């Protein structure tokens, strides 16, 4: 799955982030998609808008942090309400026109993703970015039909889902990444997320990528597979397929999650960054009959 890809320039997390708001970006991504598919892989892309957490310095820039000033290439951020993430700029609260424009932006980015040849699309509705900001009462204090009740707070996400589902082929898988809980009192709960997932399924979502947190700083008991329980709960209570994520770093750990039906898919992030050959390593550890080793490196895998 290609990283969080902004649907507008203002939706980028940092000024250097990937986007898919014009045809030039589509055409640049297409050869990469074709190469992945030529190697037997399925290619997906995660469409996103960073909301009030946009226009920030990259985390590995030691001399800078927080919001990038407009004079240095940053921009005014937006959110459901004029509530800032700690140490970031106060966002502009979106009006109805702004919401409608962003729904259209998600739709046109999805169209370009299809044109680029991607096999599936994931909508980023987690980690304190715009769609999560609308879902959570911690960041959404609106008093219109996009705020207040859970149904209202989920409206924007469902509108984005509808726009994309109507744009892409009917048999193209559509995923949504959610933060199952906010890990903060009065924030999103697992019961809230179960209800949201039921609505998402009714609107044509095929799988939920289950993460957690990051809408506000919180004490999170992170450890190996610490979010798997949320994927399992959602799967059991809704019947919707789920993906487990978060500190899943060992082949037997990932296999156990699948074998015990805690989730339908395991997504491996940080371990893939540490070891680009993790799929080969996992195949060997799990004694896969034909590990997919690159021919030119065959001696390393004897």
- How, if at all, do strands 120-125 and 44-48 pair? parallel
Enclosing H/E stretch for 2: strand 2-6
What distances in angstroms separate CA 270 from CA 84, 120, 221, one per listed residue?
A: 28, 22, 18
Give the C-alpha separation, 169 to 129, whole Å.
26
Tell me phi and psi for residue 6, to 5 degrees. -70, 140
57 is catalytic: no
Choice among 129, 226, 297, 301 that is catalytic: 129
Give the C-alpha separation, 23 to 21, whole Å.
7
Sequence-distant (6+) residues with CB within 8 A of 140 are 80, 81, 133, 134, 146, 147, 153
**Is 19 within 8 Å of 9 (Cβ atoms)?**
yes
**Is 102 within 8 Å of 180 (Cβ atoms)?**
no
Give the C-alpha separation, 240 to 83, whole Å.
33
* Angle, alpha carbons 224-228-230 (nearest 5°): 135
* Structure-block tokens of residue 4: 């969080």
Give the C-alpha separation, 105 to 160, whole Å.
9
Give the C-alpha separation, 47 to 31, whole Å.
19
Give catalytic residues, as residue numbers: 129
């Amino acid at each position: 799955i290609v990283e969080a890809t902004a649907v507008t320039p203002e939706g980028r997390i940092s000024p250097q982030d990937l986007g898919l708001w014009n045809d030039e970006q589509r055409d640049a991504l297409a050869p990469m998609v074709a190469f992945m598919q030529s190697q037997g892989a399925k290619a997906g892309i995660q469409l996103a808008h960073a909301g009030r957490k946009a226009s920030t310095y990259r985390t590995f820039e030691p001399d800078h942090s927080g919001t990038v000033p407009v004079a240095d290439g940053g921009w005014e951020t937006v959110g459901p309400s004029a509530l800032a993430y700690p140490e970031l700029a106060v966002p502009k609260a979106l009006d109805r026109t702004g919401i409608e424009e962003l729904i259209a932006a998600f739709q046109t980015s999805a169209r370009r993703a299809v044109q680029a040849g991607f096999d599936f699309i994931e909508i980023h509705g987690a980690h304190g970015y715009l769609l999560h900001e609308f879902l959570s009462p911690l960041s959404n204090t609106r008093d219109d039909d996009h705020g207040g009740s859970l149904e209202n707070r989920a409206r924007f996400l469902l509108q984005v889902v509808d726009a994309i589902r109507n744009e892409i082929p009917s048999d193209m898988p559509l995923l949504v990444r959610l933060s199952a809980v906010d890990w903060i009192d009065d924030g999103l709960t697992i019961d809230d997320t179960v209800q949201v997932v039921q609505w998402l399924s009714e609107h044509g979502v095929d799988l939920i990528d289950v993460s957690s947190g990051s809408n506000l700083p919180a004490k999170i008991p992170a450890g190996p597979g610490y979010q798997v329980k949320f994927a399992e709960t959602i799967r059991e209570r809704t019947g919707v397929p789920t993906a487990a994520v978060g500190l899943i770093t060992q082949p037997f750990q990932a296999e156990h999650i699948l074998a015990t039906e805690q989730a339908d898919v395991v997504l491996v992030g940080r371990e893939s960054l540490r070891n680009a050959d993790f799929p080969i390593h996992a195949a060997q550890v799990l004694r896969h009959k034909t590990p997919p080793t690159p021919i030119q490196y065959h001696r390393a895998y004897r």
